[in-house]
Chains A and B, each alone.
Chain A
Amino acid sequence: MGRIREEDYAYATARVRAVEVRLMDDNKINRLLNMTDPQDAVKFLLESGYGADHTDSEKKAAENIEVLFDDELKNTYNFLLEILPSPEPVYLFMRRYDYLNAKLILKAEFLGVNVLERLSHLGTIEPEKLHEYITDRNFDELPEIFSEAIHESIEAFNLTRDPQVIDLILDKASYQNMLSDAMRYEDPFLTKLVKKLIDTANIRIIIRTELLGQPEEFIKKALIEGGNFPVGGSQEFSGQNREKLLQILNEAGLEKLSLKLAKAFENNHGISEIEKILDDYVISYFKPSKFAILGLDPVIAYLFLKETEIKNLRLIITGMVNKIPAEAIRERLRMSYA
């Protein structure tokens, strides 16, 4: 696939610049945080443009906020597909939902339950079709990495009867697929972004496996190759991984992230603080995109900022419904706009 010139993104950049002002800023987030009634929050979201395509959106939203978020994300993807000269950069991120659906379909099949209605509609393949492909074991229509991963996870599950192996294989394949797509697209911004996503996934895996005392073999199986710091070969993680992780991050030129993580380890506030640092680290990558005049950067930045916004809104509204103290919510809120 030939690289698309920056000028070809002029229309997409202009359209994104027009809509990104509608993203929730700190003021709006604070207003939401100060609300106590979830119905008020839903109304506020509807006024802010959520659920605009639905005539009965208010009713729908009040019943299930998750539908509103899914629709918003779907609209965002459709919007980006509409404005971009090539759908590939958006498909790259939409494929995450194909993998999510595949995991759900496989687990449901092994469990003997029907999950067709619960599948995500945000992927590149229609959930019904994907369900059919997997059930019929007909992987011809699927990308190679994807079909191989599904095949491998079926074999691994039949051998171990362990549902976790399905996630491990398909998660790894999902990132590998993103990386190979990004490299094929020959856009350094996209490749760097995917590498950052792999890094954050690996850091999350290393810290969580250490916290949970998972064995060395598990870490080896779970880590994803292709990021900015090496995870295979001599870099074997086992036991006390934190010091080693910080050292490797420093060596890979990720000193800022290493410093923040070191501070979080000292604070010992648990995994939530670390996850926030990792999510913010990805969002901070989009800071320069704010000033980019042309290119793919502002478009992808918009997608990620929208995803983060939805993550924050879900956090606030779930917290509001379940009467979680605002402070506990506030400390988990992700960086909303770079």
Chain B
Amino acid sequence: MARLNVNLTRMVLTNLKRRLNTARRGHKLLKDKRDELMKKFLEIVKENRKEREKVEKMLMDVHSRFIMARALMSDTHLEEALIYPKQKVTLKASSKNVMSVQVPVFEFETEGQGDRDIFPYGFANTSGELDEAIIALSKVTPHLLRLAELEKTAQLMADEIEKTRRRVNALEYVMIPNLEETIKYIVMKLDENERGNLTRLMKVKDMILEQAHGYKKKMTEES
């Protein structure tokens, strides 16, 4: 462990002790934050996996229906039918705070007369299989947005967990041991100084007494 390069004074010692206290409290708080983030992260990952499986299944269904519609209509017919979407979707993107992480929140609103009003083409020259594909696709949209929200949240939380983990480790394995060692060293040095002072004082006392009473001289005479 590296000792900090500080002056070996009581003031510094007091400051370092204060810093150590703060570091220990911060370490505990960050550790709690990391644990809570992990808990939330695991919940999100679990939900994300479920949502992804659901969305993938739904998209496969949409894909197979579109393939069938595509197989029954020429490129130009399909292009004409789908070029101009009938339903407009407004996406509102905001954010919310989860354990000091700003995670996205997507809300979407559709303009139109609801689920029945989503077909931008006439029914005389198009295949009915296209209707099924469009319905399936419109059902998958809210799930896709939820998945996007979850995946981004998981990504942001993973970043925050990583940052917190680094901070916890830095406090646990670097800052706190360094402070402890420096404090120990300063205490040791100050104690040593103290002991040096005491010895010096005793010596001075002896010298003063000697000067005043001449004990040494008397002792020599007596003997």
Contacts and interface: CB of A to CB of B under 8 A. Distances in A.
B221 interface: no
A3 to B, nearest CB: 29
Contacts of B77: 100
Instruction: Tell me if A's interface is mostly helix, strand, loop or mixed.
Output: helix
B139 interface: no
B71 A211 contact: no
A163 B86 contact: yes
B67 A167 contact: no
B122 to A, nearest CB: 3
A314 B71 contact: yes
B79 A208 contact: no
Interface in A107-160: 107-108, 110-111, 113, 115, 118-120
Contacts of A110: 84
A154 B81 CA distance: 17
B128 A104 contact: no
Contacts of B206: none
A164 B83 CA distance: 11
Interface string A187-213: 000000000000001001101110111
Contacts of A212: 116, 119, 131, 135
A2 interface: no
A332 interface: yes
Contact of A113 (B83, B119, B131): B83
Contacts of B72: 275, 311, 314-315, 332
Given A107-B80, A108-B83, A214-B116, A204 B123 contact: yes
A162 B86 contact: yes
Contacts of A96: 125
B120 interface: yes
B106 to A, nearest CB: 25
Given A104-B83, A107-B84, A324-B68, A201 B120 contact: no
Contacts of A55: none
A319 interface: yes
Contacts of A36: none
Interface residues of B, number: 31
A103 B75 contact: no
Given A110-B84, A120-B76, A272 B116 contact: no
Contacts of B85: 163
A104 B122 contact: no
Question: Which of A175, A271, A329 has the largest count of B CB atoms less than 10 A from its CB?
Answer: A271
Contact of A171 (B86, B120, B125, B131): B125
Given A111-B83, A115-B79, A271-B128, A324 B67 contact: yes
B64 A318 contact: no
Contacts of B123: 204-205, 208-209, 222
A274 B128 CA distance: 9
A135 to B, nearest CB: 16
Contacts of B81: 167
A270 B132 contact: yes
A280 to B, nearest CB: 14
Contacts of B127: 271, 275
B121 interface: yes
A115 B120 CA distance: 17
Contacts of B84: 107-108, 110-111, 163
A222 B81 CA distance: 15
Interface in B66-102: 67-68, 70-72, 74-77, 79-81, 83-86
Given A167-B121, A215-B116, A332-B68, 10 more contacts: A111-B83, A162-B86, A163-B86, A167-B81, A174-B124, A175-B124, A204-B124, A207-B128, A314-B74, A319-B71
Interface of B: 64, 67-68, 70-72, 74-77, 79-81, 83-86, 116, 119-125, 127-129, 131-132, 135
Interface of A: 66, 69-70, 96, 100-101, 103-104, 107-108, 110-111, 113, 115, 118-120, 162-164, 167-168, 170-172, 174-175, 201, 204-205, 207-209, 211-215, 222, 224, 270-272, 274-275, 311, 314-315, 318-319, 322, 324, 328-329, 332
14 contacts: A100-B125, A104-B79, A111-B84, A115-B83, A118-B76, A120-B74, A163-B84, A167-B122, A171-B122, A204-B123, A204-B128, A211-B131, A318-B67, A328-B68
